[in-house]
Copies of this chain bind each other. A is one copy, B any other.
């Protein structure tokens, strides 16, 4: 039997305890032993909870109990989570988490500490929620040089864009709808401004390219600039608009950024709707592999956390070898020099647009403003052209094979 402790009894923590109970037989079979929750750490009171006898408020009890071999950190954020994770790893307890904020900022340090102490620090649930992404990337695509990785990494913004597209509601109405359904938080900033997507592309990039990529290195644009008109014009052109986190190899460095993109209707990510997530990984042997599923939610997240717990239980004294270097200034380049076609919405006339951009594809969705797709050019080229008197009300990349 393996004893674990769960730190934090919010959505993730309670989901883990619940799925461990509900699927106990299957989990015991897959782990080849029983996995038992010995403690749940939370400062709040849960006296009516079926697991109330497991609650404690003193973290020291967990650290000092040699029977606890794996700790699930479901606190979130950085401060306490970082301190507790360090303490656990330092004495050789493995830690499993979905805490993308902590990993994006302190992943290399914590992985290094885990390595030194022959413990595991696993975080499958931190990207893509219930979708297996990190393990396939680090264990199934090991024969490949990864050249690009991108995806719809945030369910809240994808729900809002899908809702706007399907109902014609504007951003604030769709946000309110998402909040009412529990898909968006009261303060939606981290989601709608792209910060959550940024943390996730940092984690994927660090794994795929071997250097820690920090959120501060990744140019990040959210979805507040996407209007129902943009969705309408894009649709008329045969595209959806999705918020992507994207990273690709450029020489011996990478470009990484977060921004809304037009995605062709016949690509898989175009049908990844609502709160679903989708991740594309490009390897030089396998080509593109796409992973889709529930990117968040209590049970899907618990599914990934518990898979990590099972994995850690099988590798108590064997390091899983997930690691990356500490990163450096200049490893992540601005996306300005990346080529793509562009979608632009402007009040400028079609004549003016054609004069400056040459051949473009106009959306027929409007007579009162001009929306179009350019040929392939990088960000500097397009900014140069726009300076010649075309004021862009929206300006998004079109995802393509450039």
Chain A residues engaging chain B, CB cutoff 8 angstroms: 19-20, 22-23, 26-27, 30-32, 124, 130-132, 135-136, 139-145, 266-268, 270-273, 283-294, 299-300, 302-307, 310-311, 314, 321
Contacts and interface: CB of A to CB of B under 8 A. Distances in A.
B144 A140 contact: no
A307 B130 contact: no
A316 B270 CA distance: 42
A293 B286 CA distance: 8
B135 A285 contact: no
29 contacts: A19-B285, A22-B284, A23-B143, A23-B144, A26-B142, A27-B142, A27-B143, A30-B142, A30-B143, A130-B285, A136-B136, A139-B307, A139-B311, A141-B303, A142-B306, A142-B310, A142-B311, A143-B302, A143-B310, A267-B271, A268-B292, A270-B271, A283-B303, A286-B293, A287-B294, A287-B300, A289-B293, A289-B294, A291-B291
Instruction: Please name the 5 residue pairs, one residue from A and one from B, whose CB atoms are nearest each other, closest first.
Output: A132-B140, A143-B306, A130-B286, A289-B293, A132-B136
A292 B272 CA distance: 13
Contacts of A310: 142-143
A143 B31 CA distance: 9
A285 B300 contact: yes
A286 B302 CA distance: 8
B302 A285 contact: yes
B266 A144 contact: no
B268 A304 contact: no
A140 B307 contact: yes
A195 to B, nearest CB: 25
A130 B281 CA distance: 12
A139 B135 contact: yes
A169 to B, nearest CB: 19
A304 B141 CA distance: 7
A294 B291 CA distance: 13
A293 B290 contact: yes
A302 B290 CA distance: 18
B140 A304 contact: yes
Given A136-B136, A140-B135, A268-B272, A299 B286 contact: yes
A23 B284 contact: yes
Given A140-B132, A307-B143, A292 B294 contact: no
B293 A292 contact: no
A144 B303 contact: yes
Contacts of A267: 271
A207 to B, nearest CB: 12
B136 A23 contact: no
Contacts of A23: 143-145, 284-285
Given A132-B139, A285-B299, A285-B302, 11 more contacts: A22-B285, A130-B286, A132-B132, A132-B289, A140-B304, A142-B307, A283-B303, A286-B300, A289-B291, A290-B293, A292-B292
Given A141-B307, A143-B302, A144-B26, A293 B285 contact: no
Contacts of A145: 23, 26
Pick from A130, A142, A287 the residue with the most CB of B within 10 Å: A142
Nearest to A272: B268
A230 B303 CA distance: 40
Given A142-B307, A303-B141, A321-B32, A131 B289 contact: yes
